[in-house]
Chain A
């Protein structure tokens, strides 16, 4: 969603505002971001460590916490992996070929971004729930999709669907098809061309997409909450456990889990900044 961009150096020319106005504008911006964005982040860590480091780590080593961490890692691994394959395929078809309806296809890929997380979960309840389209059949065959891991994975794939494709399409469109065509005309196979020519060119963009996809997959709450059933120790991901513990007034435990997710967000942001710089440098396809 945020495009990589080069920072222009602010100009200190004569065409600027009086010093007082500049000061007020910066003060408002800094104050607003501090109150609405920085303080909530600080609260997470302050609450997590409010009873000391010992309480923090014992909260994290609770069996329920460990099971939530395991489930979150499993769900993220499956959904990121599948969306990675799909994203690369979609980007190849869309960026390297011309066909009618391309814009429409991109709009469809973007759809999950504009759907409320709750609705993303709801659609799977309507398909697989007891009163859903395939619910009775699944029940008769004793297959559990809803209130089980498959449902959580499906909902997570839905909400993280666009990330990889969206970060690759503009990059691959910009790079054109000349290098791949050269490789093919020199006798390389399709797969060789992809792995030896395309992949090196898009690796930072691919990593960027995977990074954002993973952050969302691990942090998704609304969609997963609808399909999970909140079975303790079984279908609770980390964000769901944060909710349950918070509602039980177990603040240290809740914020301890939340602090792990907050750290994930911070690391994601740092890596994202680094990758954006790489992407800015590597816009032009290599000559060699």
Chain B
């Protein structure tokens, strides 16, 4: 990128492509999203508040956000372990398992949903042994939790992996030569430099799980106040033609996910200033 702004403008097509971009963006994204917020303004503040704080809505939001947070925590820990194994060690099938990490990205959510349900149902491959231990996964909140773990794992792995690969070995060697034992090197030197990537991965997994629908609804059981996620409540309100209710819940979720995205952007800027580029 060494062309100055003046030289760049010698290329044709800026007006055309920019016009096309802004038009398409407005038609597909901006106008529909603006419609969502406009619809909310038809509600008075009291009405909005009454919908959002009704028992069923609050339960759904709590289930969605609470379980997503817990699942993202599991992803954070397991993702770190997986990245460590994939980057630092050699083992048979390493490349295969590296590719497998992307499956939750690639598999359509409805397929993941029916597969997880079948797997964890009372007669399923994993559901049956778990049932003998007295643990019921499918059609309970644990099922939601499991589906959210499935959907979130690639976010942590794919965010942290490039950072661990790029990490300078020299820092480790310096730490070791200064007398730090391996434990100290890992927890005082390596993991701290992974923190921005880990937090970003956590936030992305969290945001994805909050909005997730397809892979969750089959295994969830969908009992109001117990195992009903917020996106499903939106769908139910729509089918009852209670558009205002659906919209209010959607706005709460949208604002939450925008806040998460904002946090991720700040995190990435922080990471860039913290770790000098090499």
Contacts and interface: CB of A to CB of B under 8 A. Distances in A.
Given A93-B14, A225-B235, A114 B111 contact: no
Interface size class of B (residues with CB under 8 A): 35 or more
B262 to A, nearest CB: 10
Interface stretch (A5-13, A58-66, A136-144, A199-207): A5-13
A40 interface: yes
Given A25-B85, A118-B211, A112 B29 contact: yes
A140 to B, nearest CB: 19
B97 A108 contact: no
Interface size class of A (residues with CB under 8 A): 35 or more
Residue of A37, A97, A109 most packed against chain B (CB within 10 A): A37
B260 A119 contact: no
Contacts of A130: 241
B101 A37 contact: yes
B43 interface: no
Nearest to B9: A97
A193 B10 CA distance: 13
Interface string B1-23: 11101011111111011101100
Interface in B91-136: 91, 93, 97, 99-119, 124-126
Contacts of A41: 103, 107, 115
A199 to B, nearest CB: 13
A209 interface: no
A90 interface: yes
Interface of A: 1-3, 5-8, 10-18, 22, 25-26, 28-30, 32-33, 35-41, 43-44, 47, 82, 85-86, 89-90, 92-94, 96-99, 105, 107-109, 111-112, 114-119, 122-127, 129-133, 154, 157-158, 161, 173-174, 176-178, 180-181, 184-185, 189-190, 193-194, 215, 218-222, 225-226, 239-240, 242-243, 246, 251, 254-255, 258, 261-262, 264-266, 268-269, 272-273
28 contacts: A5-B165, A8-B87, A15-B176, A16-B182, A25-B85, A25-B89, A26-B89, A28-B85, A32-B81, A37-B104, A37-B150, A40-B119, A85-B20, A89-B16, A93-B18, A111-B29, A114-B207, A119-B36, A122-B250, A129-B243, A133-B35, A157-B28, A177-B3, A177-B8, A222-B213, A242-B114, A243-B113, A254-B114
